[in-house]
Structure 1
């Protein structure tokens, strides 16, 4: 019996050692397909169009996937052209107030002479967002909106941009000046105790209003912020954009969403099979992934203050292990401890009845200087 057991274990080990990762072969023609994505606002709000090429999953997004130096414009059926501005990294900006009663085509010209044209685009009039709100739940905070479709706008795509204020674990209102070897107060422009961070979401949020009575979409979930997230540690802002899309747009995004959710499965459809409303002029049968939409974008901004969700304890990995050092750095040792910038003075230390500090407690700069993770420049839209 023991011999059979040893033989069985040995066989299992042999099979495990011979197992190799499965890497399905994919036709190289499907690995360098132009991808065009964007929703162009027809009332002049800046909107972005992104261009890149598909890459193998193993490629980790090589830099050559970006499409640079393209000449892009929106052209009305009457021949009027509205150019895009290249922002870099394959991103192009459209900012024109155009007539919603006209029809248009997107024209793309690449540096190698290849050109692409969209199908005819008719601007869609997006209804206003009725309300935006939030509600606490057992996992954190859910942000939602309410809207209503109509006979011209049934399908919706939502995107959002987040901005939040945050503070480092330790505050320093002073700085060390190597030239004078003194510690002096920081100006307002030099503050490093409060900063701001922004993120643009990449989720696909879709809904069809005709699924609801009177096309009334009530409390559509937009964003879940889990407990411990730094976003709600001080003050948070979310700008939600609502975009009416055509039935064809909705079908494209649903397929893309499913493909994204299933990424890694051998049963997932290849991205090149998604298609869209963009065609190559030189070869209309060439694979292209892209669905460009055109219409009025409706936006609504909301702020959430930490006091509205307190108690909220942020759990920030970057600040794990942050401590204030127990020793006091005396005036004579300022240069030794602070010149390199790895340590920053935090708390002044005084003798009893003293008016001038005899030294400072200190901490690592990464635990004190919030500009290492964000910017100390307050956004123009920010409300305190």
Structure 2
């Protein structure tokens, strides 16, 4: 995961620039190449993940994946879980599925390709706390410029043993195009001299319906330490504007609740306060955040990141915009519907050469044919508006409910 770090305070420079009219472009000062570690093992039986990268300068937008490392997680009861790097993501994934067990401590060990050894503090799985409820509310808040739907969580731990919670979500939404394409269009027998060609139209068996999924970014967490009761109530995890096209047809959200240790909660809290946006350590940081991982040969050397064990529970809900009396939100893009006549192949009538335009839109812009009239009038739209598979998937998720 990419991290950009600024290790030098800029207060003096900023104060000086306040009296100037020319903008000041911030550049990296004293850049350090630091290992970045992000990993949360949970009590889910699944392949666990460790993410390794290197810090980059503020000016560098590339992701510096740490390749060819040896990664293991060991427990105090003698279990040893090895990880292998995934070719597609660059993440390190456990070679076997496992879950973090109660009353067991775990340690992350890393050996980089240059032989440097890193180790984490031992971590223990916090108690499991089931989410009581995931629900939605219509929200209109002019002071916060919000008008839409809020997804909220209620959770309670009567034992008082768990006080720190972090939330993530996976959202999935159904997509139907406003101008569904009825045909697969192929250009054949094109003659560049005369500009003539044939349009082969193959009728589709059915209208395609698509489903897109996205994973949350950023750090969303809360604590009950300052409350009279150990209860998370009406906690917001996702806001959707009434104009968000994701709720145009049907929307589902899977909310995940992670019970954290006080050390993990504090680390994430500091990272967020320093300006993290996206996911852990994904944006520029104005300073160094100490985690629970050290370089064995020199514990004073900076290592960025945290190894965490967390109990996780999840709940999924579905809703439609109509459930809240909202009007249908706009589509993802503004759709342009064109009617082009193949027989119009001249500009002498002060009108574009529609035959040439039809060829251009179908072959170069992938416009979709949605209608054919009188044998020569083709109605076309841009691909996103006629065929959802141009930006989504028509594979229906196993969990989906209509």
Q: Output the CA distance in 2 between the equivalents of 1:262 and 1:93.
A: 24
| 1:343 partnered with 2:367 | yes
What's the C-alpha RMSD, in Å, of the aligned pairs? 3.0
Q: Please point out which of 283, 291, 297 is paired with 1:282.
A: 297
1:3 paired residue number: none
1:319 paired residue number: 333
The 10-residue stretch of structure 1 (92-101 or 115-124) with the greater mean CA deviation from structure 2: 92-101
| 1:26 partnered with 2:29 | yes
Q: Please point out which of 201, 214, 217 is paired with 2:216.
A: 201
Q: Deviations over 1:309-362 (max 9, x none)?
A: 34334345x623x222133558xx799474556322102436xxxxxx675422
Structure 2: which 5+ residue stretches go unaligned?
1-18, 141-146, 189-197, 279-283, 344-354
Q: Deviations over 1:267-292 (max 9, x none)?
A: x97442x1111111222111011111
1:5 paired residue number: none
Q: Deviations over 1:19-42 (max 9, x none)?
A: 3515376323xx321111222113
TM-score normalized by structure 2? 0.77
8 Å contact kept, 1:328–1:349: no
Q: Output the CA distance in 2 between the equivalents of 1:68 and 1:262.
A: 25
Q: CA deviation at 1:96?
A: 0.8
Q: Output the CA distance in 1 between the equivalents of 2:365 and 2:24.
A: 47
What SS does the corresponding residue of 1:256 show, helix, strand or coil? helix
2:91 paired residue number: 91
| 1:236 partnered with 2:251 | yes
Q: Deviations over 1:156-180 (max 9, x none)?
A: 1111111112233311132124579
Which residues in structure 2 correspond to 1:84-233 (within 5 Å)? 84-87=83-86, 88-94=88-94, 95-138=97-140, 139-149=147-157, 150-177=159-186, 181-187=199-205, 193-233=208-248
Q: Please point out which of 285, 295, 302 is paired with 2:310.
A: 295
In terms of fraction of residues, the more helix-rich structure is 1
Q: Deviations over 1:42-77 (max 9, x none)?
A: 3314443322122222222x23x2222222121012
TM-score normalized by structure 1? 0.81
Q: Output the CA distance in 2 between the equivalents of 1:262 and 1:198.
A: 20
| 1:247 partnered with 2:262 | yes
Q: Please point out which of 365, 372, 375 is paired with 2:383.
A: 365
8 Å contact kept, 1:175–1:345: yes
What SS does the corresponding residue of 1:248 show, helix, strand or coil? helix
Q: Output the CA distance in 2 between the equivalents of 1:271 and 1:51.
A: 19
Q: Deviations over 1:178-199 (max 9, x none)?
A: 57953222245xx5x4322222
What SS does the corresponding residue of 2:177 show, helix, strand or coil? coil
8 Å contact kept, 2:211–2:392: yes
Relative distance call for 1:329 and 1:147 in structure 2 (3 A) is farther
Q: Output the CA distance in 2 between the equivalents of 1:42 and 1:285.
A: 32
Structure 1: which 5+ residue stretches go unaligned?
1-14, 351-356
Q: CA deviation at 1:89?
A: 3.6
1:37 paired residue number: 38
Q: Deviations over 1:90-110 (max 9, x none)?
A: 423343134323211111122
Relative distance call for 1:326 and 1:39 in structure 2 (3 A) is same
Q: Output the CA distance in 2 between the equivalents of 1:219 and 1:38.
A: 28
Q: Output the CA distance in 2 between the equivalents of 1:237 and 1:169.
A: 21
